[in-house]
Structure 1
């Protein structure tokens, strides 16, 4: 006998609950490349954590940031629109992972991932304080992930949580701020270490924290190397000819060399772990050498700012900003435009071994 109108059979209710649970776990969404993306890093992938840090001077939750974001809304992204975290999630068939600090009142973290990235953050604990007064350093981001993992275990059970994490992507974009902190005029850390000792300290600290993530279930890790950061507008403006800071670029490349060796070593010590390394430095160098090939015309000046190369003042409401943003490499004195973030996300997700090795992110997720 059919159930009365508006009633639900026990079997129907059970099937609905099971189906809902499968959707929540991503089982019924075959287009997803992974069940979740856990984003760790700095302002290049911050989607709003710094909005919740009262002391931080690294914020982007005001115009003209977000002018090309849906509804022209500033969100805390250091960009005219979306950043690499958004584009990567989209390629994976997932929503952008929300800022960890936005999950207030004991809210359950979404099963599709969480972002811990913070503007000004570094691999070393003191970096953010030196540069921006307050950020979430890498060690703290890992600690925050531990809290999310605990909730996953409660929600799914230990075995299912481990399976979920082993298939998820841990995307890490960090290191630039540590180098900026070292090569800033009057730097405290440059009195404590020579440059080689410093990049070695960055690498060893990073290795220990990656090992901690591995111990908590991370098996698929994407790590972006540091870019050609001596070529950002705030560095170029220090040179009368507008050229790049050669020393900063040299040590960025040296750090990347150590990072690649470290990742290979870590994989050999960590059964079941695989990684994709993105050569941000090489991708940037190629872009600077032939910008018109990729549709860009301005590689030195920031789109949004004031003064020399638009880099004397950050992108704030009184700044001017360019109308042809897709032609600019830099949005502000440090950060790329949405167009560059999109281009680099394409490379790291499905690019050739010229910039992603030993595999790209798509290949990593297929393992």
Structure 2
């Protein structure tokens, strides 16, 4: 077994050398990562917005109908992608930062800073009330860091941060709530789609750099999925039946391409760290294109919701969702079911370079 691990790591390092990435290798034998720190939006929010004055909340049934805690603030019928990823990493679910119990020893295995309606830009989601933007989430991490400093020596903390996994999944709201609704925001009148993608990447880069400067070293950066295929966009009627809204997906391709290039740039600039691009767009498109293979029968509407494609109004309190939830890709107008989240988590954990570039999460843990 030891020999197999040595061969695996040697192969990984050879691949990294070919793409010009290098760093000090630290073998983790007792655990894959000591902690997981999550930054994001409603795709990964596990209850932060419960404590904010926001319209973007999921602390009521039918949300959580298949989750052991019931409605927890997760925008899903059950577990999110980071919940499943935590299961694969044998990590406990990190507490929501805003939860009063997210203090002391309770944050030693990680914290979830994700906030529904949040985006890369500070103004994203302002129409829905309070939320933790990416820049605020970074500040919240600094608050947690101050608590960690009181529980570890300087060397212990440095090693803890360097070995921990950072998951950032953001960008969807910057398009849904900003660029695609010009009546709420003038963004789409100011920027063409290429310039807007560049704007997002510029802001994204500064916040990632801030987290790196604070000591974090292993980053999984999830791209934006095919938003033109979600029930909310299908409900606009801007595409023929059975087709995704192509112009929306074309815009996202620009952002994702820039994000993948950013990963190469960051790996070159910071040889002490590893940055991975999670190709959410490809992974989710694969599920849509091969739905029956993955066990899904319904691909174009939410399990709960109102209006065309069950995507015009999201799950209302005490509404009755579909019974065959594992056969639905989408839970509501915007979010996947836990069945789809489980597949996405597996692709992030052990996926090929087409799903995770240049490494998957399991390979990251071995460095």
Specify if TM > 0.5. yes
After TM superposition, the structure 1 = structure 2 runs for residues 129-278 of structure 1, keeping only pairs within 5 Å, are 129-130=126-127, 132-180=128-176, 181-186=178-183, 187-239=185-237, 241-242=240-241, 243-278=243-278
Aligned 8 A contact 1:31 1:93 in 2:
no
Conservation of the 8 A alpha-carbon contact between 1:199 and 1:254: yes
Residues 59, 119 of structure 1: 8 Å contact kept:
yes
Which stretch of the first structure deviates more once superposed, 149-158 or 297-306?
149-158
Measure how far apart 1:109 and its partner are. 4.7
Q: For residues 217-252 of structure 1, what are the alpha-carbon distances to aligned partners after superposition, in whole Å with 9 as ceiling and x for unaligned?
A: 111001110000111001001116343221111111
Of the two structures, which has the highest relative contact order with CA contacts closer than 8 Å and spacing of 6 or more? 2
1:359 aligns with 2:359: yes
- The two structures have a TM-score, normalised by structure 1, of 0.88
Structure 2: distance between partners of 1:219 and 1:30: 18
Aligned to 1:15: none
SS of 1:320 mapped into structure 2: coil
Change (3 A) 1:231 1:149: same
Residue 81 (structure 1) aligns with:
78
Mark the runs of 5 or more structure 1 residues left unpaired by the alignment.
1-28
Instruction: Say which one has the larger Rg.
Output: 1
Of the three residues 61, 75, 98, the one matched with 1:101 is: 98
Q: CA deviation at 1:113?
A: 0.4
Q: Does 1:321 align with 2:318?
A: no
State the TM-score, normalized to the length of structure 2. 0.88
Instruction: Measure the CA separation in 1 of the matches of 2:100 and 2:262.
Output: 33
182-191 or 114-123: which moved more?
Answer: 182-191
SS of equivalent to 1:354 = coil
Name the counterpart of 2:17. Answer: none
Partner Cα separation in structure 1 for residue 249 and residue 95 of structure 2: 32
1:244-265 superposed Cα distances (whole Å, 9 cap, x missing partner): 2211111111100001111111
Instruction: Give the superposition deviation at 1:318.
Output: 4.6
Could you say what secondary structure the match of 1:329 adopts? strand
Counterpart pick for 2:112 among 94, 102, 115? 115
Tell me if structure 2 keeps the 8 A contact 1:275–1:364.
Answer: no
Greater Cα offset, 29-38 or 220-229: 29-38
How well do the aligned residues superpose, as a CA RMSD in angstroms? Answer: 1.6
CA distance in 2, matches of 1:224, 1:305: 26
Measured at CA, do residues 105 and 319 of structure 1 come closer, stay the same or move farther in structure 2, by a change above 3 Å?
Answer: closer
Q: Deviations over 1:18-72 (max 9, x none)?
A: xxxxxxxxxxx96531100001101111000000002x1110000000100115x
CA contact (8 A) 1:305 1:320 kept: no
